[in-house]
Amino acid sequence: MTDELPLVKIGFRDDEGDVETLWAFDLGDGRYKLDKTPWYQYGVSTQDIISASPEPDSMLFFVGILAKSGYRTLRVQSEEPISPRFLEQLIAVGCSYEGANPKFIAIDVPPAVELSVPVGLLCNSGLLWEYADPTHEQIHGTVA
């Protein structure tokens, strides 16, 4: 069971050099299972199996994706706190979410939930949102 495995922090570096760290279970042999939802990274989701290696300061950094979990990630940003009613709707359709703060959440869409369901809720919500995994380009083949 993965929750008996040690948790480690994995660094993800974006194109500007900013680093986001995510908790992951150490599966051994440089393999890790993400335990948290990415706030800023694209193309990875909770429970994905990734590879990472230490840099000179010994912090582990993301190298690549070894296996996708089937989870997808959507992100929502709002000028006002996101309404509890909207959050309840997400849970009712089988999704979960993590809030960086009441105005910024990341939504985990499990493999059993059709992506169009939470996307439909988002489209009808009037909230500013984005695809994070898969990305908009992966879904539509164009830049938004």
Average pLDDT over the chain reads: 92
Token look-up 């051994």 returns: 28
Q: What is the 3-state secondary structure (H, E, C) of the chain?
A: CHHHCCEEEEEEECCCCCEEEEEEEEEECCEEEECCCCCCCCCCCCCCEEEEEECCCCCEEEEEEEECCCCEEEEEECCCCCCHHHHHHHHHCCCEEEEEECCEEEEEECCCCCCHHHHHHHHHHCCEEEEEECEHHHHHCCCC
133/93 same-domain check: yes
Query: For residue 144, is pLDDT > 60?
Result: no
Q: Which domain holds residue 82?
A: 72-140
Reported as a single tens digit per residue, the pLDDT across 87-134 is: 999 999 999 999 878 899 999 999 999 999 999 999 999 999 999 998
Rounded percentage of the chain residues whose pLDDT exceeds 70: 96
CATH for 110: 3.30.70
Structure-token match 């010994």, residue found = 58
Co-location of 63 and 77 in the same domain:
no
Strands 31-34 and 128-133: unpaired
Confidence of residue 143 (pLDDT cuts 50, 70, 90): low
7 or 144, higher pLDDT: 7
Regarding whether 78 and 54 lie in a shared domain, the answer is: no
Question: Structurally, how many domains does the chain consist of?
Answer: 2
pTM for the full model?
0.89
Asked whether residue 61 falls in the same domain as residue 118, the answer is no
Question: Pick from 33, 67, 101: which residue ends a domain?
Answer: 67
